[in-house]
Structure 1
Amino acid sequence: MLRPGMLFIQRQYLYLLIVLIVLLTFWYISLFPRWNPEAPYITSVPEAHAPRETAGNATLGFQAILALSNRPSWRTRGLLAAANYTGLDIQIPPQPPLHPDVIDAFWKIGQDDDSIRRPEHGAAVAWLAHLDLIKFVVQSNLDTALIMEDDVDWDVSIREQMKLVSDAVRNFTKTPETQGAPYGRAWDVLWIGHCGEYWAEGFETVFFEDPAVCPHSKYLGWAKQYIERLPDYRRAVYQSFNPVCTFAYALSREGARSVLKYVGGGKGEAFDIKLMETCKAKTLNCISVVPELFHQYFPPESFAVKSEVEIGNGEHMESNEADFENVMGSTENILESARCRALFGKSCLKV
């Protein structure tokens, strides 16, 4: 049986416990910022998740990296070796089969217009493959995606390089600091892998230093004359004017839909040419990074390896993959090849 004094003491403890719980509750709530219905959803970007840091993650700041490939081969094995070496997460979605009649019908689009240059068979197949992968981006409702061809190469420092690209693209598009997207959102196509691009005085351009940029003296290709107009040992970001080759290009959600709308109907020489023309006309909002950060890897020239487009056009390749896959080739305009470092432990810049 409880005595009156003991009951009083127990009530004191109960009151103290209730007061302590109330104080702890108010303290815990005070740790969270008050909700303001007029404030944007993201009011600041935490330092640990700053846009430039996100651009250096395993998908280079995009929601996904997708490789265009129709089958496992030396191309995909080298691609995945380079990805593993540089810590990139690359998916290779299976390509759906193409009926020959669909390819033939696509090739014939615009045949009554003599001013339209239509794709050859191999280029038509490649074009449709790009469209299928872009449809995958749309169907997956990806916010952004980087699409690359399966024989591309990049520098071993690609994750650090893309942090610099993030800063430059955000600067070029005047992206506010409160916008957390690594490259902002003011673009449809971000063209970071190509075989050349035009540049002239008067282009609004953001220049930035990159320790891994290919210097003028080692740059190869048709665009060398334009590259030499740029400051050496620097990259440039500007509105796309004449990029050629779709080695690697990023699409925003709306950009993917727009590419299907404006480039999906054929009537051109090749997918990359049609995409370039649409960018040049500013039907698409496209941004180029020059010199490129992704370029095609070439097996040794002595093996006369054919591209998938050339094979699609009926050209025959004499060599088997086993003949050249373990022999180091080269990559133009990439100082420290991720493929060659991963597969052969060496650099393979073509000079």
Structure 2
Amino acid sequence: MVEGVTDNKRSSLTLDFERINNATLGFEKVFVVNLAERTDKRDGLSLTAALTDIKLDWTRAMRGSDVGDKALPLGVDRKEWRDGGIGSWRSQMNVIRSIVEDSIASALILEDDADWDVRLKEQLVRFAEGSRVDSIRPTMPHSPYGDGWDILWLGHCGDTFPERIPGHHIIDTDSARYKYYAVHNDETMPPPEHTMSWISGDLKRHPATRWVHFSGGPTCSAGYALSQAGARKVLLALSVGGTLVAQLDNAISDLCRHHTPWDAPEDIEGPPGYPGARMRCLSVTPALVSQHKPRGRRAADSDIEPIYNVDAVRDVGESPNLVWSARLNAQNLILGLPMQHQFVAHEEKGAMDYNLHIRNS
């Protein structure tokens, strides 16, 4: 287990990490997939990005009914797949294809209900320290997150350590087979009772700690980054030459879970259609990008999943695992008011003037 980096290495990386403070978070572009009729979602995310100095590239999502039968990959039966699932797959493939076509070195792909802590750029610097712990070089890599990665899972519903998945040894992180980077005393971590995670036992043993680790099997795709190499691998495996054996987020996760770079070739037994992708995938747990559930009609939440209670209303918006949710603090950011802690009233727990915090950080 890696506890951090030395002061000398940290100072040598300072210039590199400054690139994370740009409008695209150190990536070449930040894409968002959005259905044209969901103007409400575009309004919300556009405002959130503007308030936190992030530039978005919007791309139009497709409905499954707009995808021709001949364009469906092996494994997809239109009668068994939801229209939203097919549309989500093709929409993401369109973005990934554009990354390949335009030779984009790295890109972050967000869903249109994404949310993040107002301190996201600070969080990403700590993440970058972990993602580069094995690849610190005297010369500046192309990405502030290091070179050699295919996917960075920044937003997911849950992930676990590689030792916890079938075919790997289940051992404690204190004697882990794979290297982990621990971000201790993370002030942006939610209280333990409000932390949603698949590694809750590890979080109890290491309170207020966020982990950067090889991906074990993340679900959901609220926010993930692809390098150029990673985009090519995903486009090949999930469209050009593969078999789509699961919904998009699980299919990408399978590329990480079944073709890990640390396994010997003879150990690879992934699902059919994913021949030797050998993805290098890194996750941060708990995730830094969350799926926001807004105040209003619950039936408006998802464009993929079926809605069962169409009359239900959510009185207060929520974003799992985010302390200073950017969406929930939109009015405070506009008016220059202290940030509201999502889980504890700001009168009770150290609310802080965000502008002052940024100036002093």
Aligned pair in 2 of structure 1 residues 217, 70: CA closer, same or farther (>3 Å)?
same
For the residue of structure 1 that corresponds to 2:290, the secondary structure is strand
TM-fit CA distance, 1:108: 6.5
The 8 Å contact of residues 329 and 348 in structure 1, kept in 2 or not, is answered as: no
User: How far 1:47 moved relative to its partner?
Assistant: 7.7
- Is structure 2 residue 89 aligned with structure 1 residue 127? yes
1:206 to 181, 188, 191: 181
Q: In the TM superposition, what is the alpha-carbon distance from 1:77 to its structure 2 partner?
A: 1.1
TM-score (norm: length of structure 1): 0.74
Deviation for aligned residue 1:48: 10
Kindly state the Cα deviation for residue 163 of structure 1 after the two structures are TM-superposed.
1.2
Distance 1:249 1:165, change over 3 A: same
Q: Percent identity between the aligned chains?
A: 26
User: In structure 2, what is the Cα distance between the partners aligned to 1:98 and 1:304?
Assistant: 19
Instruction: Give how far 1:317 is off.
Output: 8.0
Which residue in the other structure is 1:228 paired with? Answer: 203
Note the C-alpha offset of 1:179.
2.6
Confirm or deny: 8 A CA contact 2:117 2:322 kept in the other structure. Answer: yes
Shift of 1:303: 3.9
Task: Give the whole-Å Cα distance in 2 for the aligned partners of 1:275 and 1:340.
Answer: 30
Alpha-carbon distance in 1 for matches of 2:29, 2:119: 19
Q: Which residue identity is paired with 2:43?
A: R
**8 Å contact 1:107–1:120 — kept in the other structure?**
no
Contact kept in structure 2, 1:213 and 1:234, CA below 8 Å: yes
Instruction: Answer yes or no: is the 8 Å Cα contact 1:193–1:294 preserved in 2.
Output: yes
1:339 to 327, 338, 348: 327
In structure 2, relative to structure 1, the CA distance for the partners of 1:337 and 1:120 (3 Å cut) is same
Q: Which is worse superposed, 230-239 or 136-145?
A: 230-239
Counterparts of 1:169 and 1:241, CA distance in 2: 15
The structure-2 alpha-carbon separation of the partners of 1:83 and 1:347, relative to structure 1 and needing over 3 Å to count, comes to same
| Partners of 2:187 and 2:208 within 8 A in 1 | yes
Query: What is the letter of the counterpart of residue 139 of structure 2?
Result: T
Distance in 2, Cα, partners of 1:350 & 1:128 = 37
Determine if contact 1:214/1:291 at 8 Å carries over to the other structure.
no
Indicate the larger mover: 337-346 or 83-92: 337-346
Distance 1:348 1:108 in 2: 46
Q: Assess, with a 3 A threshold, how the Cα gap between structure 1 residues 268 and 284 changes in structure 2: closer, same or farther.
A: same
Looking at structure 1, the residues matched to 148 and 127 of structure 2 have their Cα atoms a distance apart, in angstroms, of 14
State whether structure 2 residue 284 is matched by structure 1 residue 289. yes
TM-score, structure 2 as length reference: 0.72
What is the aligned partner in structure 1 of residue 257 from structure 2? 280
Unaligned runs of 5+ in 2: 1-10, 164-171, 261-277, 334-338, 345-361
In 2, are the aligned partners of 1:205 and 1:238 still within 8 Å (CA)?
Answer: yes
Q: How does 1:88-107 map to 2 (within 5 A)?
A: 88-95=54-61, 100=66, 102=68, 106=72
2:256 maps to amino acid: C
More displaced 10-residue stretch of structure 1: 195-204 or 89-98 = 89-98
Contact 1:299 1:329 in 2 (8 A): yes
**Equivalent in the alignment of 1:51:** 16
* Aligned-residue offset at 1:349: 3.1
**Counterpart-to-counterpart distance in 1, 2:85 and 2:205:** 32
Once residues 222 and 64 of structure 2 are traced to their aligned partners in structure 1, the CA distance between those partners, rounded to angstroms, is 22
CA gap of 1:104–1:318, structure 2 versus 1, over 3 A, is farther
> For 1:276 and 1:337, how far apart are their aligned partners in 2?
26
When structure 1 is superposed on structure 2, of 71-80 and 56-65 the one drifting more is: 71-80
Larger radius of gyration: 1
Gaps of 5+ in 1: 1-45, 112-117
Quote how far apart the aligned CAs of 1:230 are. 6.0
Residue 329 (structure 1) aligns with: 317
Matched, 1:217 2:212: no
2:50 is equivalent to residue 81 of structure 1: no
Question: Secondary structure of the residue that 2:21 maps to in structure 1?
Answer: coil
Alignment counterpart, residue 109 of structure 1, candidates 42, 55, 75: 75
Contact 1:169–1:184 at 8 Å: present in 2 too? yes
Distance 1:57 1:289 in 2: 21
Alpha-carbon contact 2:107-2:227 (below 8 Å) kept? yes
State the Cα distance separating 1:228 from its structure 2 match. 2.8
The root-mean-square deviation of aligned C-alpha atoms, in Å, is: 3.2
- Find the counterpart in structure 2 of residue 160 from structure 1: 122
Question: How far 1:144 sits from its partner (Å)?
Answer: 0.5
Q: How far apart are the structure 2 equivalents of 1:133 and 1:163?
A: 26
In structure 2, which of residues 103, 116, 137 is the aligned counterpart of residue 176 of structure 1? 137
Shift >6 Å, 4+ stretches: 46-49
Structure with more of its chain in helix, by fraction = 1
Q: Decide whether the 8 Å contact of 1:340 with 1:348 is kept in 2.
A: no
CA 1:141–1:226 in structure 2 vs 1: closer, same or farther (change >3 Å)?
A: farther
Residues 29-64 of structure 1: CA deviation (Å, up to 9, x unaligned): xxxxxxxxxxxxxxxxx9897111111221110011
Residues 1:335 and 1:101: Cα distance change in structure 2 (over 3 Å)? closer
**Secondary structure of the structure 2 residue equivalent to 1:132:** helix
How many residues are aligned here? 293
For structure 1, which segment, 141-150 or 95-104, has the greater mean C-alpha deviation from structure 2 after superposition? Answer: 95-104
Q: CA deviation at 1:217?
A: 2.3
Give the structure 2 partner of residue 268 of structure 1.
Answer: 245
Gap change, CA 1:298 and 1:227, over 3 Å in 2: farther
Q: Given residue 217 of structure 1, which amino acid in structure 2 is its aligned partner? A: E
CA gap 1:110/1:90 in 2 versus in 1, 3 angstroms: closer
